[in-house]
Structure 1
Amino acid sequence: MVILFIFLAGISATDTVHLTLEKAVEYGLKHNPEIEQFAINYKKSEIKVQDAISVYYPSLSLNGYFAYLSDVPVFEFDGMPVPMGQHRNYSVSLSLQQVIFAWGKLYDMYKITEIQSEIAELTLKRKHQEVRYAIIDMFYGLLILEKLVELTNESLIQLQRHEQAVEKRYRAGLVPHFELLRSQVQVANLKQGVIETENGLTLTKEGFKMLMGMELDVEIEISGDLTVFEEVYALDELIDEALVNRIEIKNIENFERIAERARLIAKKILLPSIVAGATYERKRPFSFGGDQWGSNLTFTIGFQFPIVSGFKTRYQYEEALLVLKEAELAKNNLEKAVTVEVKQAFFSLQAAREGIVATRENVNQAEKAFEIIETRYRNGLVTNLEYLDTQLAQMQAKINYLSALKNCHSARAALYKAIGKEE
Structure 2
Amino acid sequence: MSKKLLIRATLLLLLLFPLSALSAITLEEAMQMGRANNLSLASTSIDVNAAKRDVDTSWNLFIPSLSLSLSNAGTTPVFKASPGSSAINTGLGFSLSATLTLNPAVKSQMDSYQIGYQIQQVSYEQAKAEVERTITKLFYYLVMEEQNIAVQQANLELAQKQYEEVTLKYEQGFASELEVLTSQLASERLKPSLQQATNQYASNLLSLKAMLGMELDEELSVEGEIPALIKELEVQDLKEYLQKSYSIALLDLNMAQLRTTIDLNSQQALLPTIMIKGTYEMSLWNEMNPVSDFSDSSMYTIALSIPLDGFIPNSRTKVGLAKLDDSLQKLALQRQQAVKQLEVSVVGKVQNLNMLSSQAQLAQQSLELTEKVYIMNHIQYESGYIGSVALEEAQNNLLGARQQVLSLQFQYVSSLIDLIYDLNIQHEYRTKELI
Q: TM-score higher than 0.5 here?
A: yes
Give the superposition deviation at 1:86.
4.1
Please name the residue that 1:10 is paired with: none
Please name the residue that 1:241 is paired with: 241
Confirm or deny: 8 A CA contact 2:91 2:287 kept in the other structure.
no
1:391 and 2:395 aligned? yes
**Could you tell which deviates more after superposition, 293-302 or 63-72?**
63-72
Please name the residue that 1:292 is paired with: 293
1:362 and 2:361 aligned? no
1:20 and 2:36 aligned? no
Confirm or deny: 8 A CA contact 1:341 1:418 kept in the other structure.
no
Please name the residue that 1:4 is paired with: none
Matching residue's letter, 2:70: G
Please name the residue that 1:403 is paired with: 407
Q: Which runs of 5+ in 1 are unaligned?
A: 1-14
Give the superposition deviation at 1:266.
3.3
**SS of aligned partner of 1:219:** coil
Counterpart-to-counterpart distance in 2, 1:199 and 1:162: 26
Q: TM-score, normalised by structure 2?
A: 0.84
Counterpart-to-counterpart distance in 2, 1:17 and 1:411: 29
**SS of aligned partner of 2:424:** coil
1:197 and 2:203 aligned? no
1:96 and 2:98 aligned? yes
Matching residue's letter, 1:302: A
Structure 1 pair 75/114, CA: closer, same or farther in 2 (3 Å)?
farther
Structure 1 pair 47/314, CA: closer, same or farther in 2 (3 Å)?
same
Structure 1 pair 197/166, CA: closer, same or farther in 2 (3 Å)?
same
Counterpart-to-counterpart distance in 1, 2:355 and 2:215: 37
Confirm or deny: 8 A CA contact 1:97 1:275 kept in the other structure.
yes
Confirm or deny: 8 A CA contact 1:97 1:278 kept in the other structure.
yes
Give the superposition deviation at 1:267.
2.8
Matching residue's letter, 1:87: N
Q: How does 1:21-420 map to 2 (within 5 A)?
A: 21-50=27-56, 52-71=58-77, 86-100=88-102, 102=103, 104-228=104-228, 230=230, 233-243=233-243, 245-268=244-267, 269-285=269-285, 289-290=289-290, 291-306=292-307, 311-420=315-424
Give the superposition deviation at 1:157.
0.7
Counterpart-to-counterpart distance in 1, 2:86 and 2:41: 69
Give the superposition deviation at 1:415.
2.2
**SS of aligned partner of 1:87:** strand
Structure 1 pair 94/16, CA: closer, same or farther in 2 (3 Å)?
farther
- After superposition, the C-alpha distances for 1:52-77 in whole angstroms (9 at most, x for unaligned) are 5422222222211223433499999x
Counterpart-to-counterpart distance in 2, 1:400 and 1:20: 25
Counterpart-to-counterpart distance in 1, 2:28 and 2:34: 10
**SS of aligned partner of 1:300:** strand
Matching residue's letter, 2:191: K
- After superposition, the C-alpha distances for 1:86-135 in whole angstroms (9 at most, x for unaligned) are 415211111111123x2x22222332232122111101011111211221
Give the superposition deviation at 1:180.
1.3
Counterpart-to-counterpart distance in 1, 2:62 and 2:130: 39
Counterpart-to-counterpart distance in 2, 1:342 and 1:16: 39
Q: TM-score, normalised by structure 1?
A: 0.87
Counterpart-to-counterpart distance in 1, 2:229 and 2:200: 27
Give the superposition deviation at 1:352.
2.9
**Could you tell which deviates more after superposition, 349-358 or 118-127?**
349-358
Counterpart-to-counterpart distance in 1, 2:366 and 2:27: 29
Confirm or deny: 8 A CA contact 1:345 1:418 kept in the other structure.
no
**SS of aligned partner of 1:289:** coil
Structure 1 pair 287/96, CA: closer, same or farther in 2 (3 Å)?
farther
Give the superposition deviation at 1:153.
0.6
- After superposition, the C-alpha distances for 1:118-157 in whole angstroms (9 at most, x for unaligned) are 1111010111112112211111111111111110110001
**Could you tell which deviates more after superposition, 379-388 or 361-370?**
379-388
- The number of residue pairs the alignment matches comes to 401
Please name the residue that 1:9 is paired with: none
Confirm or deny: 8 A CA contact 1:170 1:176 kept in the other structure.
yes
Counterpart-to-counterpart distance in 2, 1:116 and 1:340: 30
Structure 1 pair 32/345, CA: closer, same or farther in 2 (3 Å)?
farther
Confirm or deny: 8 A CA contact 2:163 2:180 kept in the other structure.
yes
Counterpart-to-counterpart distance in 2, 1:258 and 1:233: 37
Confirm or deny: 8 A CA contact 2:230 2:357 kept in the other structure.
no
Counterpart-to-counterpart distance in 2, 1:412 and 1:378: 44
**SS of aligned partner of 1:225:** coil
Confirm or deny: 8 A CA contact 1:286 1:294 kept in the other structure.
no
Counterpart-to-counterpart distance in 1, 2:287 and 2:98: 24
Give the superposition deviation at 1:253.
1.3
Give the superposition deviation at 1:324.
0.6
Structure 1 pair 211/344, CA: closer, same or farther in 2 (3 Å)?
farther
Q: Which runs of 5+ in 2 are unaligned?
A: 1-20, 428-435
**SS of aligned partner of 1:154:** helix
Confirm or deny: 8 A CA contact 1:277 1:299 kept in the other structure.
yes
**SS of aligned partner of 1:382:** coil
Counterpart-to-counterpart distance in 1, 2:60 and 2:22: 51
Structure 1 pair 16/33, CA: closer, same or farther in 2 (3 Å)?
farther
Matching residue's letter, 1:360: Q
